[in-house]
């Protein structure tokens, strides 16, 4: 498909913007000239708005996520809400919606397998399955550059050397190396995936190894309530937003189960194990992080779970690790742990690494 074909397809979808939103963003609602929803993955909420009619502010079909600053068109909505990886699958799904002929009316026998229509969880499972362990890859180098070493129970992370990335409707699909993280539910089933595209030419102090593209991080699949998990939680769990944040904490507390919810909104909605008795919430130092901590604390307390917030000195715990070092991070966490968990998690880790 040429960029012109993609542009025409996006234009046709824009003429049916409200119908597209009602179908693919069914957890949202119309308010005036816009459709409001949580994000392009159809998460409930109000941070993403889709323009339904042409206006002086821009054409119909364009959307912006105020929480993440992502933006795009209705082809991006179809890709993210359905969890599709290959752009040809996105185009085929758009044509199906518009009742247009498919480019490939007689797909090969393999086509049925790679375009399984079970939605984003299946696409996430395919992406994770085709990726490789991160040992001795650019993904491992990326984490080490951020001060994260050693990696404890990193089975939730993999590396893909040529992961698809599409900047906008007027650009062809690109491929970049990427760190792939699996998103799972409480039973360990993969429900989504998170991609961090990486720069194959090395690291710098600004992007810290992320690819020089507009949105080097994107999630796909069924994210609400689920998380990227490190270790299996029983009675104690630490949860936060970012993957690098939680991996930084695991450098100090390698046996404490942790979960990265991938955003403040998803942290507030993360599902908690029935056996949980204490929850540590690793906050990011911003307004969204404060809101997430408040909401999750209320939910935890309502379920009879003790909630304790961890606060970084800077913006997040990975920034603390890179700026002050692992010993300073260990000392800061010691004062924020319940006394029994100092003995259970921190002193054990100190003895093992000492």
Supply 288's token pair: 């969204």
Domains and CATH numbers, the chain: 3-117 (3.90.580.10), 122-221 (3.90.980), 228-353 (3.40.1360.10)
Q: Could you read off the pLDDT of 44-90 as tens digits, one per residue?
A: 888 898 999 988 778 899 998 877 778 889 999 998 998 887 788 88
User: Which residues, including other chains, have CB under 8 Å from residue 185's CB and lie 6 or more apart?
Assistant: 191, 225, 226, 271
DSSP string, 28-70: -EEETTEEEES-TT--SSSSEEEE-S-BTTB-TT-EEETTT--
Q: Could you read off the pLDDT of 115-147 as tens digits, one per residue?
A: 333 336 888 899 999 999 999 999 999 999 999
Which one is predicted more confidently, 3 or 286?
Answer: 286
pLDDT value of residue 103: 43
> In which element (H, E) is residue 245 found?
helix 243-252
Q: How far is CA 106 from the centre of its chain?
A: 35
Would you say the pTM of this structure is higher than 0.75? no
């Amino acid at each position: 498909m040429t960029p012109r074909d993609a542009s025409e397809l996006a234009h046709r979808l824009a003429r049916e913007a409200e119908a597209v939103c009602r179908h693919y963003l069914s957890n949202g609602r119309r308010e005036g000239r816009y459709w409001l929803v949580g994000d392009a993955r159809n998460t409930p909420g109000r941070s993403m708005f889709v323009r339904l009619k042409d206006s002086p502010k821009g054409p119909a079909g364009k959307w912006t996520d105020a929480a993440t600053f992502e933006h795009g068109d209705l082809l991006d909505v179809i890709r993210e809400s359905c969890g599709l990886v290959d752009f040809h699958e996105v185009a085929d799904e758009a044509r199906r919606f518009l009742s247009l002929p498919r480019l490939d009316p007689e797909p090969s026998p393999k086509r049925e397998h790679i375009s399984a229509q079970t939605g984003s969880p299946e696409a996430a499972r395919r992406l994770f399955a085709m990726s490789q362990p991160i040992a001795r890859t650019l993904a491992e180098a990326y984490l080490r550059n951020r001060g994260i070493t050693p990696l404890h129970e990193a089975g939730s992370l993999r590396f893909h050397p040529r992961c698809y990335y599409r900047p906008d409707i007027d650009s062809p699909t690109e491929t970049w190396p990427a760190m792939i993280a699996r998103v799972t539910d409480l039973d360990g089933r993969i429900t989504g995936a998170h991609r961090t595209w990486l720069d194959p030419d090395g690291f710098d102090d600004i992007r810290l190894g992320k690819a020089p593209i507009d949105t080097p991080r994107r999630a796909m699949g069924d994210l609400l309530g689920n998380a990227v998990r490190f270790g299996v939680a029983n009675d104690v769990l630490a949860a936060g937003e970012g993957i690098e944040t939680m991996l930084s904490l695991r450098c100090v507390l390698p046996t404490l189960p942790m979960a990265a919810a991938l955003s403040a909104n998803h942290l507030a909605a993360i599902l908690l194990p029935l056996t949980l008795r204490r929850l540590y919430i690793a906050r990011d130092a911003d307004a969204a992080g404060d809101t997430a901590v408040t909401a999750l604390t209320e939910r935890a307390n309502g379920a009879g779970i003790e909630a304790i917030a961890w606060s970084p000195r800077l913006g997040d715990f990975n920034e603390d690790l890179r700026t002050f070092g692992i010993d300073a991070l260990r000392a800061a966490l010691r004062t924020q742990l319940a006394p029994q968990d100092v003995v259970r998690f921190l002193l054990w880790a100190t003895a093992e690494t000492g």
